[in-house]
Structure 1
Amino acid sequence: MASAQAVSTAQINGTVKDQGGLVLPGVTITITQTDTGLVRTAVTDDAGSFVLQNLPVGPYRLEAMLQGFRTFRQTGIVLQVGANPTLPVTLQVGQLQETVTVTGTAALVETRSPGIGQVITNQQVLELPLNGRQLTELIFQAGLAAGGASTAAAPGANTLNTGTRNYPTVTVQVAGGASNGLTYILDGGTHNEPFNNLNQPLPFPDAMQEFKVETSALPAQYGHHAAAAVNAVTKSGTNSMHGDVFEFLRDSKLNAPNAFAAIGPNGKKRSDGLHRDQFGGTLGGPIVQGKLFYFGGYQGTRINVTPTDNFRFVPTAAMLAGNFSAVTSPACNSGRTIALGAPFVNNQISPSQFSPVALTLAKKLPAASDDCGKTLFDRLNERSEHIAIGRADYQANNAHSIFGRYQFAHLGSKPDADPNQNPV
């Protein structure tokens, strides 16, 4: 099985030849990550081949040098997570001080992996619309995916009955597999929950660099699950400071009236009182130029909503007077007529037979809005979501580097309550 570090990074390989097509051994290959200044070197073997491994994702510049040949330089190389592209290099006869530069801006084509998949780039992560900014939904971009349940703090989200999952996430089925049939990897570490093998929450979009979804012919390093593999990489600091601040607000006062909203006692449509506020930011940069970098971010979500379509049935004034004719009529029973059983006649019960305790409790109930005893009521739903992430990267030298990341995610909700904040 491949190491975790190899899975979360990329590598590049190639063969160096001269203009006549002969391979060139002993060529010094230097690759530099332009954002952080990370440098890795290699020397071609007798077959003119080279491999540079464990490269963090991002933009690179590659140089090839050999005495008697012009220096070859290619810029704009973009390495994506888990990629292993092949880069052919051709050296021209000349002075070492002369340079042949090739410029590109796109990711190199992957030709060595048997897997079928798609990389969701940083631009897609930030710009594609997402309900609740839930990154897991971008897995659908790779195809063969179907939605599952959700614990995210979004209106209309279903409750996922999978134990104590008190953090925001969405489950996905891919290629006909189950929700727990996917391998999730974040920064090279397993990101599946041990309790039920489902996915743990991914970072929010502003903290995610990119991720790759492989849906078929999975490589050996993804042997844990058969359906698909999701390989994600978080952002890291660079030699320049960068960050952002964001807020997304939804409020019932800014929305048009709901055409299907329930009608209140005043004859007007009732508002659900929706207030959804999602806010946060990120910041990253250098602590020591070219050596030590930091990145951190936070996203908070607050949602308050009072559904207006909750209803229950309570005793009507006629029922408390002993008359059950209305509630047994077809209008209250889907077109069926029912009758009270013996010894009661004509759907009448003497109030003297009612329990005094029940009558006392009935006085505490809201009044019925129709002859069937139906009453509408509001029930406040308050939820909060927190996602925080911090990361530090240290480049000891051209051969050794280390990073650490911490992520916290929590989804909380208050007990159901009535408009006066009294527990139901």
Structure 2
Amino acid sequence: MKLLSKVFVAVILVCITSTGLWAQATAQISGSVKDQSGAVLPGVEIAVTQTDTGAKRTAVTDETGSYILSNLPLGPYRFEAALPGFRTYVQTGIVLQVNSSPVINAVLQVGQVSEQVEVRANAALVETQNTSVGQVVDNQRVLDLPLNGRQAQELILLSGPAVLVNTQPIPAGRSVPTLGISVAGGSLFGLLYQLDGVGHMNAEAYMPLPIPFPDALQEFKLETSSTPARFGLHGAGAVSMVTKGGGNDFHGDLFEFVRNGMFNARNTFAARRDTLKRNQFGGVFGGPIVKNKLFFFGGYQGTITRSDPQTTPLVIPTPAMLAGDFTAAASPPCNAGRQIPLGAPFVNYRLDPSLISPVSRQIGSWYPNPPGLDPCGRITAGYPFGIDEHQMVARADYNRSETHTIFARYFTQRYRKTPPPADATKNALLEVAATAGQTNNPQMVTIGDTYLISPTTVNSFRFSAQYVPNSKVLSREAHLEDLGVQINSLNPFPQFILSIAGASSPANNFIWNNTSTNVETADGIDLTRGAHQIAFGGSWQHAIYNYHSARNENGAFTFGGTRTGLGLADFVAGLPSQFTQAYGTQVYLRGNFIGLYAQDTWKAAPRITLNYGLRWEPYISVPSEKHHVIVEQFVPENFVNNIRSKVYVNAPPGLIFPGDSQWKNGLAIAQNNWKQFAPRIGLAFDPHGDGKQVIRAGYGIFFDVPTMEMQ
């Protein structure tokens, strides 16, 4: 947290004192200006003003009467076109959306410049300039459409090519909980997420990081099918999201959304009403610090969820079983109509009390004994379930001049899935039904700067730093040594794994933690040269992924029923069928991702737009850090000749690892590929020239970067 705060302040100072950097560029306006006879008018002064902030941009029409204003911030605009000898043309009601390219054509009437012809109309809704297929979800729909849990990511499903791959947030394990969405038949990992112009994905699995709550999100756009060369790393599509910013007026709101089982009717087949309690509360506020110059925006949302589900079927040992009596447990009613014969040391389905494992006695005391427990140990129960989420967004926008704008944004979310209480029996619930708790606290800083070198040349720069700590926590505190087991534990955590065939275990979780860090820098230049809009640039990402899992480090015991005939009988007698102990998984990966692109958007004719470009996106394998093995290869000749690895000398003959002379990739896991070139070409055709219909076609090669976990 302190490190990110220092980086945040330092980069703001760098941006404010420099003149060649950039900020976010998310939309553009283009078009042509003619007189009433239809003749083109060169030299017309074009001015667009963002009405919320007063930011102004200007351009001059070329010899064909055309103009382009690129890299414009989102929001409402006022458009003006002025030329001596003609009345000034004014159009309001223009709202620029993320990655939009509306066409605004003006017709000037003869008269004085001081006279105005004002048009109140929105820009064309149909995109006639973009060659890719996309859909914008604007702020109105973000706020108004009903969302379960106010998860804005679900709005992506409003787009036709998007489908939900899974119905539960992914993953229950190592990454930040999120939804799995596939677009246009692409893979789960094939969708690029960007927030304010930079990547918004974790390093290890390339799943999206938490998305700001609806009140802090301005809008987003899903683009797919022949996206231009500036998009890379993921081939299925791109989701471009933009956070809200402040303006010349103060705006804010407070909210609370309540979902409570007391408001619901009882399900006909349920014994009682659901116990879900969810409160989502918070607010946003933004406004000017210096009018027309400096603006701020901030927001917070808290989500508190509590529930006592009783829907988990369990099998637990009864007091009779823990006392060594399995007469009922082995009977046909408890075993699908089949009598289970029990072998030694059981005699007549009973175990001599002196043969009951003292360790099993202590672990058995963890199981509850609810009233009316079935003789077979069958019960349906649950545990108190709770999730706490806290999101915070802070953003500043600075209009340094008409040619230079800067923004900075900080976003964080604290997520905690609470583990069950150490003694869940006090709530008449079962800890054995529980999953471990989970915590993560992603933090993201983004800086952007836009600088107009000239009216036809814009330079853009972006910087982003992300830090995502994630861990799994347990509630029970027990060391095997304290239970009387003679074992050399490999870590100090109070954990072990216990598996009992046909029964639920009170010790089936293990601790892990990981951190992922991603730093991204990108720079691009947009040039307008007549009918051509040329863009080129590049980006570099450095990803760090550290993962440590304590699985099996303190032992994993399996009672499979192979010793006596029943898993619970094996457990009570202390006769495991399998024992595993091993060092946990330790992964320390470092990845670098590079992308360079060049593209040209050519207005080949008034109704035809061509976009063509080339992207270079090499595959650079993730190195295997020394002393932490994550991959190996078996060489039969080495096995026959008893040749061992020089890196890991105790490994069996035949195995080689990164760093061995026979390993072709040095310390890398796989072979680098520097020849990954991705050509793109697209066509947008306006058949009637009225902006109401467009036909698109395109071709391109796209690469999906393997996740760091997959590599």
Judge conservation of contact 1:8–1:233 (CA < 8 Å) in 2. no
Q: Please, which of 265, 273, 276 is the counterpart of residue 274 of structure 1? A: 276
Q: Please, which of 390, 412, 419 is the counterpart of residue 415 of structure 1? A: 419
Greater shift, 370-379 or 75-84, is seen at 370-379
Matched residue, 1:264: none
Judge conservation of contact 1:18–1:91 (CA < 8 Å) in 2. yes
Q: Once the two structures are superposed, what CA deviation does each residue of 1:64-95 show, in whole Å capped at 9, x if it has no partner? A: 11111111111111211111222111111122
Matched, 1:160 2:171: yes
Matched residue, 1:92: 109
Matched, 1:101 2:118: yes
1:64-103 equivalences in 2 (<5 Å): 64-103=81-120
Judge conservation of contact 1:8–1:231 (CA < 8 Å) in 2. no
1:189-338 equivalences in 2 (<5 Å): 189-261=198-270, 269=271, 273-316=275-318, 318-319=320-321, 324-338=326-340
Judge conservation of contact 1:242–1:284 (CA < 8 Å) in 2. yes
Structure 1 residues 341, 113: CA separation in 2 closer, same or farther (over 3 Å shift)?
same
Judge conservation of contact 1:169–1:202 (CA < 8 Å) in 2. no
Matched, 1:403 2:407: yes
Greater shift, 169-178 or 251-260, is seen at 251-260
Greater shift, 308-317 or 243-252, is seen at 308-317
Secondary structure of the residue aligned to 1:396 is strand
The aligned amino acid for 1:26 is G
Structure 1 residues 26, 148: CA separation in 2 closer, same or farther (over 3 Å shift)?
same
Task: Give the Cα–Cα distance (whole angstroms) in 2 for the partners of residues 129 and 60 of structure 1.
Answer: 29
Judge conservation of contact 2:275–2:308 (CA < 8 Å) in 1. yes
Judge conservation of contact 1:78–1:108 (CA < 8 Å) in 2. no
1:353 Cα shift?
5.0
Judge conservation of contact 1:300–1:384 (CA < 8 Å) in 2. yes
Secondary structure of the residue aligned to 1:403 is strand
1:133 Cα shift?
0.9
Percent identity over paired residues: 51
The aligned amino acid for 2:307 is V
1:420 Cα shift?
4.0
Task: Give the Cα–Cα distance (whole angstroms) in 1 for the partners of residues 60 and 390 of structure 2.
Answer: 48
Secondary structure of the residue aligned to 1:139 is helix
Matched residue, 2:376: 372
Structure 1 residues 103, 159: CA separation in 2 closer, same or farther (over 3 Å shift)?
closer
The aligned amino acid for 1:253 is M
Secondary structure of the residue aligned to 1:124 is helix
Structure 1, gaps ≥5 residues long? 151-156, 262-268
The aligned amino acid for 1:289 is K
Greater shift, 235-244 or 317-326, is seen at 317-326
Matched residue, 2:156: 139
Secondary structure of the residue aligned to 1:176 is coil
Q: Once the two structures are superposed, what CA deviation does each residue of 1:269-310 show, in whole Å capped at 9, x if it has no partner? A: 466643211111100111111111110001111112222234
Task: Give the Cα–Cα distance (whole angstroms) in 2 for the partners of residues 240 and 18 of structure 1.
Answer: 37
Task: Give the Cα–Cα distance (whole angstroms) in 1 for the partners of residues 358 and 210 of structure 2.
Answer: 53
Structure 1 residues 108, 78: CA separation in 2 closer, same or farther (over 3 Å shift)?
farther
Matched residue, 1:153: none
Matched residue, 2:391: 387
Structure 1 residues 416, 8: CA separation in 2 closer, same or farther (over 3 Å shift)?
farther
Matched, 1:36 2:61: no
1:312 Cα shift?
3.8
Task: Give the Cα–Cα distance (whole angstroms) in 1 for the partners of residues 363 and 28 of structure 2.
Answer: 72
Structure 1 residues 56, 352: CA separation in 2 closer, same or farther (over 3 Å shift)?
closer
Q: Once the two structures are superposed, what CA deviation does each residue of 1:342-373 show, in whole Å capped at 9, x if it has no partner? A: 67565455556545665576566433611212
Structure 1 residues 12, 320: CA separation in 2 closer, same or farther (over 3 Å shift)?
closer
Task: Give the Cα–Cα distance (whole angstroms) in 1 for the partners of residues 357 and 94 of structure 2.
Answer: 82
Structure 1 residues 347, 6: CA separation in 2 closer, same or farther (over 3 Å shift)?
same
Corresponding pairs, count: 407
1:415 Cα shift?
2.3
1:378 Cα shift?
3.9
Task: Give the Cα–Cα distance (whole angstroms) in 2 for the partners of residues 360 and 199 of structure 1.
Answer: 44
Structure 1 residues 8, 320: CA separation in 2 closer, same or farther (over 3 Å shift)?
same
Structure 1 residues 148, 419: CA separation in 2 closer, same or farther (over 3 Å shift)?
farther
Q: What RMSD over aligned residues (CA atoms) do the two structures have, in Å?
A: 2.8
Matched, 1:10 2:27: yes
TM-score when normalising by structure 1: 0.87
1:106-185 equivalences in 2 (<5 Å): 108-148=125-165, 157-160=168-171, 163=174, 165-166=175-176, 168-185=177-194
Judge conservation of contact 1:310–1:379 (CA < 8 Å) in 2. no
Judge conservation of contact 1:272–1:308 (CA < 8 Å) in 2. no
Task: Give the Cα–Cα distance (whole angstroms) in 1 for the partners of residues 348 and 34 of structure 2.
Answer: 102
1:192 Cα shift?
2.3
Task: Give the Cα–Cα distance (whole angstroms) in 2 for the partners of residues 44 and 322 of structure 1.
Answer: 93
Q: Once the two structures are superposed, what CA deviation does each residue of 1:147-185 show, in whole Å capped at 9, x if it has no partner? A: 2458xxxxxx4450563x34x532322112122211111
1:204 Cα shift?
0.6
Task: Give the Cα–Cα distance (whole angstroms) in 2 for the partners of residues 5 and 174 of structure 1.
Answer: 31
Matched residue, 2:452: none
Judge conservation of contact 1:293–1:393 (CA < 8 Å) in 2. yes
Matched, 1:22 2:39: yes
1:43-58 equivalences in 2 (<5 Å): 43-58=60-75
Greater shift, 233-242 or 308-317, is seen at 308-317
Task: Give the Cα–Cα distance (whole angstroms) in 1 for the partners of residues 355 and 272 of structure 2.
Answer: 39
Structure 1 residues 326, 399: CA separation in 2 closer, same or farther (over 3 Å shift)?
same
Judge conservation of contact 1:77–1:107 (CA < 8 Å) in 2. no
Task: Give the Cα–Cα distance (whole angstroms) in 2 for the partners of residues 355 and 201 of structure 1.
Answer: 47
The aligned amino acid for 1:281 is G
Judge conservation of contact 1:26–1:48 (CA < 8 Å) in 2. yes
Task: Give the Cα–Cα distance (whole angstroms) in 1 for the partners of residues 45 and 29 of structure 2.
Answer: 14
TM-score when normalising by structure 2: 0.53
Structure 1 residues 45, 353: CA separation in 2 closer, same or farther (over 3 Å shift)?
closer
1:63 Cα shift?
1.0
Judge conservation of contact 1:245–1:282 (CA < 8 Å) in 2. yes
Judge conservation of contact 2:34–2:41 (CA < 8 Å) in 1. yes
Matched residue, 1:265: none
Structure 1 residues 240, 343: CA separation in 2 closer, same or farther (over 3 Å shift)?
closer
1:107 Cα shift?
5.4
The aligned amino acid for 2:74 is V
Structure 1 residues 419, 124: CA separation in 2 closer, same or farther (over 3 Å shift)?
farther
Task: Give the Cα–Cα distance (whole angstroms) in 1 for the partners of residues 228 and 365 of structure 2.
Answer: 68
